[in-house]
Chains A and B, each alone.
Chain A
Amino acid sequence: MDHLLELLADHDDASVLAGGTDLMVEVNLHGRRPGTVIPVGGLEEMREWNHRPRSNSVTIGAALPYSDMERGPLAELLPALAQAARTVGSPQIRAAGTIGGNLGTCSPAGDILPVLAALDATIHVLHRDHSRDIRFADFMTGVKRNCLTPGEVVHSVTVPLTRGWQGYAKVGTRNAMVISTASACLVHDAEEGHVALALGAVAPTIVRAVKAEAWLSRQVDLRGTFRVSPETAHEFGLRAASETSPITDHRSTAEYRRHAVSVLARRLLERSAS
Chain B
Amino acid sequence: MSVVTGSSTRFGALGSNANRPDGNAKVQGGFAFSSDMWAENMLWGATMRSPHPHARLLSIDASEAWKIPGVECVVTADDVPGLPNYGLIMQDQPVFARVGDTVRYLGEPILAVAADHPETCRRALAAIKVRYEVLEPVTDPERCIDGSAPPLHPDGNVFRHQRIVSGDQTIIGEIQVEGTYEIGMQDQAFLGLEAALAVPDTGGDGVELYIATQWLHEDRKQIAACLGLPEEKVRLVLGGVGGAFGAREDISLQVHTCLLALRTGRPVRISYSREESFFGHVHRHPATIWMRHHADAQGRILRIESRMVFDGGAYCSTSPAVLINAITHTQGPYKCENATVDGWALRTNNPPCGAMRGFGVVQACFAHESQMDKLAAATGLSPVEVRLRNAMETGDRLITGQIMDSVAPVERCIRETDAIPLPPPMPMDANELLVPGGTGLTALPSNIRRGVGWGVSIKNLMYSEGFDDFSTARCRISNGAVHVKFATAEVGQGFVMLAQQIARSVLGVDDVYLDPIDTQVGSAGSTSASRQTWMSGGAVDAACRAVRDELLDRVATARGLVRQELRIDGTDIVDALTGTRIAVAEVIGDHEIDHTVEYHHPATEDLDENGQGNCHVAFAFVAHRAVVDVDPDLGLVKVVQIATAQDVGRVLNPLSVQGQVEGGIAQGLGLAVMEEIIVTDGKVRNPSFTDYLLPTFLDAPTVDMVLIEEPEPKSPLGAKGVGEPPCVSVTPAIANAIRNAIGRELPRVPVRPYDICL
- A touching B, CB within 8 angstroms: yes
Pull 14 A–B residue pairs with CB atoms less than 8 Å apart, ordered by A. Answer: A31-B122, A168-B441, A169-B441, A170-B442, A174-B695, A174-B699, A175-B638, A179-B691, A250-B691, A251-B691, A256-B754, A259-B754, A260-B634, A263-B442
Q: B674 to A174, Cβ gap below 8 A?
A: yes
Would A175 and B698 count as touching, CB distance under 8 A? Answer: yes
Complex Cα spacing A31 to B758, Å: 39
Instruction: Decide yes or no whether B732 CB sits under 8 A from chain A.
Output: no
Closest to B122 in A: A31
Pair B685/A175 contact, Cβ less than 8 Å: no
Extra A-B contacts (17), CB below 8 Å, given A172-B440, A175-B638, A176-B699: A28-B273, A29-B273, A83-B439, A169-B442, A170-B442, A173-B636, A173-B674, A173-B752, A174-B674, A175-B433, A176-B696, A183-B440, A250-B686, A255-B754, A259-B757, A260-B634, A260-B753
Decide: A171 near B691, CB < 8 A? Known: A29-B273, A267-B447.
no
CB distance from A96 to the nearest CB of B (A): 16
Is B590's beta carbon under 8 Å from chain A? Answer: no
Contact A29 B693 (CB under 8 A): no
Is A50 engaged at the interface, CB distance under 8 Å to the other chain? no
Cβ of B437 within 8 Å of any chain A Cβ, yes or no, is yes
Distance between B340 CB and nearest chain A CB, rounded to angstroms: 37
Chain B interface residue count, CB cutoff 8 Å, equals: 40
Q: How far is the CA of A109 from the CA of B693 in the complex (A)?
A: 17
Q: A29-B273, A171-B636, A176-B697 are in contact. Are A83 and B757 (CB under 8 A)?
A: no
Q: Which residues of B contact A29 (CB under 8 A)?
A: 273, 275, 688
A19 part of interface (Cβ distance < 8 Å)? no
Give the most central of B126, B273, B442, B696: most A CB within 10 Å: B442
Chain A hits for B202, CB < 8 A: none
> Is A131 among interface residues, defined by CB-CB distance under 8 A?
no
**Residues of chain A within 8 A of B754, CB atoms compared:** 252-253, 255-256, 259
Q: Which chain B residue lies CB-closest to A88?
A: B439
- Distance from B700 Cβ to chain A, minimum over Cβ atoms (Å): 9
Q: Using Cβ atoms and an 8 Å threshold, which residues of chain B touch A263?
A: 442, 633-634
Q: How far is the CB of A25 from chain B (nearest CB, A)?
A: 9
A264, B442: Cβ atoms under 8 Å? yes
* Interchain nearest-CB distance for A227 vs B (Å): 17
Contact check, B441 vs A167: say whether CB atoms are below 8 A apart: yes
B41: Cβ under 8 A from any A Cβ? no
Name the prevailing secondary structure of the B interface residues: loop
B4 in contact (CB, < 8 A):
no
Residues of B within 8 A of A169 (CB): 437, 440-442
B401: interface (CB < 8 Å): no
Residues of chain A in range 175-198 having any CB-CB distance to chain B below 8 Å: 175-179, 181, 183
CB neighbors of A among B88-147 (8 A): 122, 126
The complex places the Cα of A264 from the Cα of B758 at a distance, in Å, of: 15
**Shortest Cβ distance from A271 into B: residue:** B444
CA gap between A263 and B632 in the complex, in Å: 11
Rounded to whole Å, the gap between the CB of B642 and the closest CB of chain A is 15
- State the Cβ distance, B678 to closest chain A Cβ, in Å: 5
Q: Which residues of chain B have C-beta atoms less than 8 A from A250's C-beta?
A: 678, 680, 685-686, 691
CB-defined contacts of A251 to chain B, threshold 8 Å = 691
Known interface pairs A175-B638, A176-B699; A170-B440 also in contact (CB < 8 Å): yes
Residues of B within 8 A of A181 (CB): 753
Q: Considering the complex of A and B, which 9 residue pairs feature the smallest CB-CB distances, nearest first?
A: A250-B685, A256-B754, A175-B438, A176-B698, A170-B440, A175-B698, A176-B696, A250-B678, A174-B693
A29-B688, A176-B696, A263-B634 known; A171-B440 Cβ under 8 A:
yes
Q: Considering the chains assembled together, what is the distance between the CA atoms of A169 and B447 in angstroms? A: 14
Residues of B within 8 A of A (CB): 122, 126, 273, 275, 433, 436-444, 447, 633-636, 638, 673-674, 678, 680, 685-686, 688, 690-691, 693, 695-699, 752-754, 757-758
With A176-B697, A253-B754 already in contact, the answer to whether A267 and B439 are too (CB < 8 A) is no
How far, in angstroms, from A264 to B447 measured CA to CA in the complex?
12
A87 interface contact, C-beta 8 A: yes
Given the known A-B contacts A173-B753, A176-B699, are A256 and B758 also in contact in the complex, defined by CB atoms under 8 Å?
yes
Q: How far is the CB of B735 from chain A (nearest CB, A)?
A: 15
Interface presence of A86 (CB below 8 A): yes
Residues on A with C-beta less than 8 A from B275 are 29
Closest A-chain residue to B440, C-beta based? Answer: A170
Known: A29-B273, A31-B122, A259-B757. A175 touches B441 (CB 8 A): no
Contact of A173 with B436 in the complex, beta carbons under 8 Å:
no
Contact B634 A171 (CB under 8 A): yes
Q: A171-B634, A174-B693 are contacts. A87–B439 as well, Cβ < 8 Å?
A: yes
- The answer on a CB contact under 8 Å between A267 and B699 is no
Bound CA–CA A271/B447 (angstroms)? 12
**Min CB gap A184→B, angstroms:** 9
Closest to A259 in B: B758
**For residue A28, which residues in chain B have a CB less than 8 angstroms away from its CB?**
273
* Residue on A nearest B752 in the bound complex, by CB: A173
Report the minimal beta-carbon distance from A231 to chain B, rounded to whole angstroms.
16
What is the CB-to-nearest-CB distance from A234 to chain B, in angstroms, rounded to a whole number?
A: 11
Contacts of B699 in A (CB 8 A): 174-176
Residues A267 and B442 in contact, CB atoms below 8 Å apart: yes
- The residues of B that contact A168 with a CB separation of less than 8 Å are 441
B690 near A179 with CB under 8 A, answer yes
Residue of B with least CB distance to A178:
B693
Q: How far is the CB of B675 from chain A (nearest CB, A)?
A: 10
Give CA–CA (A87, B441) in the complex, Å: 9
Known: A171-B634, A173-B752. A87 touches B440 (CB 8 A): yes
**Which residues of A are found within 8 Å of B697, using beta-carbon distances?**
176
**Residues in chain A near residue B122, CB distance under 8 A:** 31
Q: How far is the CA of A226 from the CA of B758 in the complex (A)?
A: 31
Which residues of A231-272 are within 8 A (CB) of B? 249-253, 255-256, 259-260, 263-264, 267, 271
Say how far A250's CB is from chain B's closest CB, in angstroms.
4
- Residues of chain B within 8 A (CB-CB) of A179 are 690-691
Given contacts A31-B122, A87-B439, contact A252 B753 (CB under 8 A): yes
C-alpha spacing A244/B673, complex, angstroms: 27
B693, A173: Cβ atoms closer than 8 Å: yes
